[in-house]
Amino acid sequence: MNDKNNVFIFDTTMRDGEQSPGASMSLEEKIQIARIFDELGIDIIEAGFPIASPGDFEAVTAISKILKNAIPCGLSRASKKDIDACHQALKAAPRFRIHTFISTSPLHMKHKLNKTPEQVLDAIKESVTYARNLTDDVEWSCEDGTRTDMDYMCKSVELAISCGAKTINIPDTVGYTIPSEFTKIITTLKNKVPNIDKAILSVHCHNDLGLAVANSLAGVSAGVRQVECTINGIGERAGNAALEEIVMAIRTRNDLMPYTTGIKTELLSKASKIVSNATFPVQFNKAIVGKNAFAHEAGIHQDGMLKNRETYEIMTPESVGVKKTSLVMGKHSGRHAFKEKLNDLGYTDVTDDVIQSAFGKFKILADKKKHVYDDDIAALTDESMVLDKYVINLKSLKVFAGTGEPQKAEMTLDVYGEIKSTSETGDGPVDAIFKCIKVLYPHDVKLLLYQVHAVTEGTDAQATVSVRIEENGKTTVGQSADTDTLVASANAYLSALNKMIIKRKKTAPIEHETDKMKGI
C-alpha cells in the first residue's frame, strides 16, 4: 500500500457537529474531545468557526495549543474579517489550516448571497489569496456543490487552486446526491480541471437521505483523498457522514476499497462516548458505536456465534474498543446461549433438568419483560435447582385487592400430589395468601421476616421476595422471584416451608413418613 491510497480524516464534530440543535459543547468538553481525537489519529480537526462567537474563538485558540499530532483548522466565510479571526485563533499552532467557503449553486448565489456567478468568482479569488498569505495550508469549499452547474464548478475549483488552495472540498451540503452521481462529479473534476493534481480532493457529505457514508465512500473510490466527517455522525439536520462508519467500512472491505487511514480504531468507542456525553445519546442500533452494534439476541444467531463468531460478525468488537460481543438474553434466545449464560454466571454444574426448567421460566419471563438481566436469570436458576425436591407447589393463585373490600386470595396447591383449594380473606393480600397456605397445609411455624425487593429496574422488574420462618429454634429462608410480587410472595413462603420439610427429612428420617399423614 503506498501513500497514494491514504485517506486523510478531517473531523468536523466541533464545527458542523456542533451545529446540531442541542449539541453545543463547553470549552472543557471541546478540550476533552480534542485530546481523544488527537490520540485517535484524526489528521485535521476543524475546531470551530472563530468569527461565530467569543466562545468559538476561545475554543479554537485553546485546541490549537494542545494538539500534538492533528492539524487544527477553523472555518471562515469568503470574508477578510472571518479569515483574520481564524488566523488569530489558530496561529499558536506550529501548523494550521484555514478553511474558507462560498456557495456556488445558482440557488444559493442568487437567493442567499445575492451575488452573480462572476462576483462569486471574485470572492473566491480574494478570499483564497488572502488566506494563502497567512498560511500555506488553505482549504476551499464550494458550498452546495452537488447542486452546482458542473462547468461552473470546474471553473471555480481551477481558480481556487490557482490562488493557492491545497485542499478542494466538495460538499453535499443538503444531502441531495446519490453515490453514482457523486462519482460522476468527482470524475468530471479530475478529468476537466487542468490543475486538479495540485490539490487534494475532499468530500463533505450530509445525511438527509441517509446516504452520507455511501456518498463519501463513492468519493473515495472515485479518487478523493480526504473525507470530512463527525463522530457519531452528528451535524446539521440529519447529520454528517459518521467517521467511525467510514473508517470501519474501509477497514472491513479493504478487498474492495484498498485504502488506509491513520485512525486507531480501538479508540472509536471511547471517542464516541466522550462526544455523546457532551452532546446527545447515540441511537441503540447505530452502526459501530451503538449499544446493540455487537449484541445478538436471536437464538439462531447466538448459536451461530457460539459455534463460530464470523457467522454473524463482520468485524470484532475489540477492533473498535468494545470489550466483547454480548449475547443478550431475551424472548428470541435459545438453549445454547442460555447454557452459555449460565456458565458465565458460574452455574457450571447444573443438571440438564435444572437448565430445562430454568429455560422454560426464562422464556415466560422474557415474554413479560423487555430486558432480562443476569440477576433475573440467576434468580430463576436458583429456584429451579431446588424445585424438583419440593412437596408443596403452587398450582394457581388469584388475589382480590384494592380499596373498600377485605383482601381475598383464592389458591390451589399440590400438597404431596393431592390437589387442594381454598379461599381466605386477610389483612392485606399477602396476609390472605399466607392464610390460604396455612389452611391447605396446616403447620405451626413462626414468620420472622417478609421482605420484597426489585431484582432489576423498571415497573416490569422482577420482585424477589424473601421469607424467613422458624421451627423449634431453627430458621429457614425461602426466596422467589416473579414480575408479580404476590405470586413471588406465595412461592417464597412455600419455598421456605419446602426447605424446612427437606431439612426435617435430613435430620429425622423416620419422622417424614408421618409428615404426610399429619399434613405437616
Ligand X SMILES: CC(C)C(=O)C(=O)O
Residues 143-162, mask of contacts with ligand X (x by CB under 6 A): x-------------------
Is position 160 an interface residue for ligand ACO (rule: CB under 6 A)?
no
Region 194-213 residues binding ligand X, contact defined as CB under 6 A: 204, 206
Nearer residue to ligand X within complex by CB, 173 or 479: 173
Question: Any residues with CB less than 8 A from the CB of 42 and at least 6 apart, and which?
Answer: 9, 10, 11, 70, 243, 262, 263
- The CB-of-343 to ligand ACO minimum distance in angstroms stands at 52
Single-letter code of the amino acid located at 240: N
Region 58-87 residues binding ligand ACO, contact defined as CB under 6 A: 77-79
β-bridge mates for residue 452, sequence order: 465
Question: Any residues with CB less than 8 A from the CB of 520 and at least 6 apart, and which?
Answer: 442, 443, 444, 514
Is position 171 an interface residue for ligand X (rule: CB under 6 A)?
yes
Taking CA atoms, 519 is separated from 320, 421, 443, 512, in Å, by 62, 15, 8, 10
Region 8-47 residues binding ligand ACO, contact defined as CB under 6 A: 16, 19
Interface residue with ligand X among 141, 156, 216, 498 (CB under 6 A) is: 141
| 371 marked ligand binding residue | no
Question: What is the C-alpha separation between 34 and 31, in angstroms, rounded?
Answer: 5
Count CB-CB contacts under 10 A for residue 46. Answer: 28
**What is the DSSP track for 156-225?**
HHHHHHHTT-SEEEEEETTS---HHHHHHHHHHHHHH-TTGGGSEEEEEEB-TTS-HHHHHHHHHHHT--
- The CB-of-10 to ligand X minimum distance in angstroms stands at 10
- The CB-of-76 to ligand ACO minimum distance in angstroms stands at 8
CA neighbor of 159 nearest in space, from 194, 133, 183, 206: 194
Interface residue with ligand ACO among 40, 52, 365, 378 (CB under 6 A) is: 52
Question: What is the C-alpha separation between 477 and 479, in angstroms, rounded?
Answer: 7
| 16 marked ligand binding residue | yes
Nearer residue to ligand X within complex by CB, 208 or 318: 208
| 206 marked ligand binding residue | yes
Is position 294 an interface residue for ligand ACO (rule: CB under 6 A)?
no
Query: If you search the block for the grid coordinates 439476541, which residue do you land on?
Result: 297
Is position 48 an interface residue for ligand X (rule: CB under 6 A)?
no
- Asked whether the beta carbons of 497 and 443 are under 8 A apart, the reply is yes
- The CB-of-204 to ligand X minimum distance in angstroms stands at 5
Is position 51 an interface residue for ligand ACO (rule: CB under 6 A)?
yes
Region 187-246 residues binding ligand ACO, contact defined as CB under 6 A: 236
What's the grid cell of residue 172?
Answer: 453535499
β-bridge mates for residue 327, sequence order: 296
What's the grid cell of residue 481?
Answer: 422471584
Is position 102 an interface residue for ligand ACO (rule: CB under 6 A)?
yes
Residue nearest to ligand X (CB): 171
Residues 74-103, mask of contacts with ligand X (x by CB under 6 A): ---------------------------x--
| 375 marked ligand binding residue | no
204 binds, among ligand X, ligand ACO, none (CB under 5 to 8 A by kind): ligand X
What's the grid cell of residue 431?
Answer: 396476609
- Going by the annotation, the residues of the binding site for Mn(2+) are 16, 204, 206, 240
Residues forming the site for ligand X (CB under 6 A):
16, 101, 141, 143, 169, 171, 173, 204, 206
Residues forming the site for ligand ACO (CB under 6 A):
16, 19, 49, 51-52, 77-79, 101-102, 112-113, 143, 173, 236
